[in-house]
Every structure is written in C-alpha cells, then in structure tokens.
Amino acid sequence: MTESVFYRKAASYWANVPATVDGVLGGFGHISDVDIDGSKAFLKEILELEDPPDTKLALDCGAGIGRVSKYLLIPQFDTVDLVEQDEKFINTATQFIGKDNAKIGTLYKIGLQCFKPQKKYDVIWCQWVLGHLKDYDLIDFFERCSMSLNKNGVIVVKENIATGREIEYDDDDSSVTRPVALMEKIFEEAKLKVIKTEVQKGFPEDIYPVYSFALKPVDYNK
C-alpha cells in the first residue's frame, strides 16, 4: 500500500466515526475512566521526577475530541494545545472541553506526519494515534517533538502494543500495532531515551496491552 493510500484510508475511516468518547475509543468508551486514572498516575510520577517538566504548556497529539486534554492535561497544565487532523473532531473539541475553558490553547487541524510544532512544550502527549504513522514519519515526528521541548520536557507515548514479534496491520482504520521491540528501535532512531514505562492495568483481557512510555532526548543536558 502506498503511503498516501495508508494516510487517506485512515482519514476517511475517522471521518465516519461519531465525535463522541465511544467513537474515538472505537466502541470502548467504557474504558476511558480507567485509562485516565492510569494516565494521571503516570503523569504524576513524571511531574515528581527530580528534574520535572514545567506545567505551563502541553500538547495533545491526535487529540480526537479532546478527551485526554479535558480529563488529564487541562487539570494539570496552564494551557493545552491540540493537534488533530479530523475536522469534525477538532470542531467538537472546544465544545466537549467547555468553550469557556481559558486553558484551551491553539487547535491545529493537521496530520502528525506534517505537523511542525511552533512552540516549546513541557509535555507532549501522544495517545492511540502513532499507529497511524509510517515508521519513518514517526521517527521524523519524534525528532521535531524533541526540538520543541522546553527544559526538562517529556514526550509521553501511550499506545497499543502487539504481543507477538510482528507488526500487525488493521485494514479497517489503516493503522499498525507495533511490538515493543520495534517501538524501542524507533525511539532509539529518534534519539529518545525511555525514562519510565508502564503497562496500563484494569483493561479488558481481550484487548491489546497498552504501554505508556516517558521519553527524553538522549542528548538532553540538565
């Protein structure tokens, strides 16, 4: 499959999904609270590091309708920017989060493979979206994120992980699920080091394990 078909198929899949929590979670809206609780605990550990990131500005990547922004990032950060390529989702985000919420920053309607951050972020959160990027686009994306981190900034990746050794392709939503070894190889190629990893607890048995990784640039100087 060519690169443009891979990206176009995903965009049209999401264009036909309702702008609801259940929609962005593929019918698994009921796991949202457990997911957010796990993320809160993971973020708390990051904010309690010896050299923690600041809590001024966060970026929610592949934000959907702003579920992660609303329940996780906005309560912790002064401002949260969102990047999401689907027009209907991003248009719903302000309303879903609360249109009077002064913490909503800039909304970027663009695919992550093309997105070039224009600000410096304390935390860049990528959840359930990176399977939509080709490996080489993901490496480039991470490199751009690395350059857009504030001092002590952290990139968080929370994604489904394949249990076998092989990458798994989902023809419905045009995404891949990567085994942990491939994720680690991609982090290495993007010159990112893993400073914390966790497997989400309390999810149904019959779904992919979901790993959270906290990442910092390798050449990061304190």
Q: Which residues bind ligand SAM (CB under 6 A)?
A: 10, 14, 24, 62-64, 67-68, 84-86, 89, 111-113, 127-129, 132
Question: Cβ of residue 190: shortest distance to ligand SAM, in angstroms?
Answer: 17
In single-letter form, the type of residue at position 211 comes to Y
Nearer to ligand SAM, 48 or 171 (CB): 171
Residues 97, 66 contacting (CB under 8 angstroms): yes
When the beta carbons of 57 and 156 are compared against ligand SAM, the nearer one is: 156
Nearer to ligand SAM, 73 or 154 (CB): 73
Reading phi first (left if > 0) and then psi (alpha if -120 to 50, else beta), residue 155 is in: beta
**Least separation in angstroms between CB 138 and ligand SAM:** 10
CA dihedral 107, 110, 116, 118 (to 10 degrees): -20
Instruction: Give min distance, CB of 219 to ligand SAM, in A.
Output: 27
The least distance separating ligand SAM from the CB of residue 68, rounded to whole angstroms, comes to 5
Structural tokens at position 206: 């019959």
204 versus 221: smaller Cβ distance to ligand SAM: 204
**Spatial distance between the Cα atoms of 66 and 83, rounded to a whole number of angstroms:** 9
Pairing of strands 121-127, 104-108: unpaired
